[in-house]
Amino acid sequence: MTDIKSLTLTELERETERLGEKKFRAKQIYSWLHEKLADDFNRMTNLPGELREKLKQEYELTRLTLVQTQLSKLDGTCKFLFRLADGNVIESVLMKYRHGNSVCVSSQVGCRMGCRFCASTLEGLERGLKPSEMLDQIYQIQKWSGERVHNVVVMGTGEPLDNYDALLRFIELLTCEGGLHISQRNVTVSTCGIVPRMRQLADEKLQITLALSLHASSQEKRKSLMPVANKYSLPEVIDACRYYFEQTGRRITFEYSLVGGLNDTKEDADRLAALVKSLNCHVNLIPVNPIKERDYVQSEKQAIVNFKNNLEKSGINVTIRREMGRDIDGACGQLRKSYIDAEK
């Protein structure tokens, strides 16, 4: 059965035509799905009963089931564990900032990128998420909280550029006027650095922010943390970032997780500054969130501050990411991993 929540408005218009219905019905259905966030064809009360029956027979309506929430007492960050129709579970996060609510969505069930410090990759990749499954994380969270979602970051489990077509469709549906209509500028996609896909994304000329997970300023150190670095060298990755900026005019965000004694020295900072200096960019420092399966530790508080100061001295825009939800399974993939372990 066709997944109706993954269809664009134009495709839906073709579908209603095929069903022998008037074109305006497509807009109504689209609005029920993506604006009023209906989970059930029965709720679509301005459609004739006969059409609702037809829709039930012809289409699958994707809806995630909430399994568990974890609310941080520190800052109101909330983690959500959702079950998909095929029984897999995924996680999403709601973060409340002064400038609005931000949702971090997963793009895949598991991940095959193998970054050493990341919990999402420990069980490998199960499958990519459908556009509707990415969207419904936001829809269910908006309904749960009763508050509008302003920003979306694709930084949950999975490598979004390893699920490219679904990702693009997700962005189209998310930013479409007839749906939640989130501005492209309020959407960030984070990648470990799949170079050809980064270039392809640049050519789409969207106004979304591209975040690159850098984590090291030398090829050797990056390879020790991220297997993807065996495939694409640092200069290639940086070139792709430059290309993204040239094509879109959007400033690149570099994510850099600080690991104690591994990538947090003055030499690391100076090399990082030299690497990104010629780019219009922003560096986001993230104290690594230790996972029990690996023995990486956070950098000392002072080392983090020194690292930031060193970058600033070289004229780099840099922030230390405020750690949110440290009292819940905050790191990427930790909640899902502990749930799967418990199920076993």
Q: Which residues bind ligand SAH (CB under 6 A)?
A: 113, 115, 117-118, 155, 159, 190-192, 213, 255, 257, 286, 288-289, 291, 331-332
159 is catalytic: no
76: left (phi over 0), alpha (psi -120 to 50) or beta: left
Residue among 96 and 116 whose Cβ is closer to ligand SAH: 116
Residue among 141 and 291 whose Cβ is closer to ligand SAH: 291
Give the number of C-alpha atoms closer than 13 A to the C-alpha of residue 327, restricted to the C-beta side.
Answer: 9
Query: What's the start-to-end Cα distance of the chain, in Å?
Result: 31
Residue among 15 and 91 whose Cβ is closer to ligand SAH: 91
What is the per-residue DSSP string for 112-126? Answer: SS--TT-GGGTT-EE
Using the Cα atoms of residue 56, residue 59, residue 60 and residue 62 in order, give the sign of their dihedral: negative
Residue among 15 and 255 whose Cβ is closer to ligand SAH: 255
What is the per-residue DSSP string for 171-197? Answer: HHHHH-TTTT---GGGEEEEES--HHH
Residue among 26 and 318 whose Cβ is closer to ligand SAH: 318
List 115, 241, 281, 332, catalytic entry: 332
115 is catalytic: no
List 91, 133, 159, 255, catalytic entry: 91
- For the CB of residue 190, give the shortest distance to ligand SAH in the complex, in Å: 4
Please, what is the Cα angle at 153 between 43 and 301, to 5 degrees?
Answer: 140
What is the per-residue DSSP string for 130-154? Answer: PHHHHHHHHHHHHHHHTS-EEEEEE
- H/E stretch holding 329: none
Q: What is the CA radius of gyration of the chain?
A: 21
Alpha-carbon gap, residue 207 to 62, rounded angstroms = 28
The catalytic site residues sit at: 91, 332
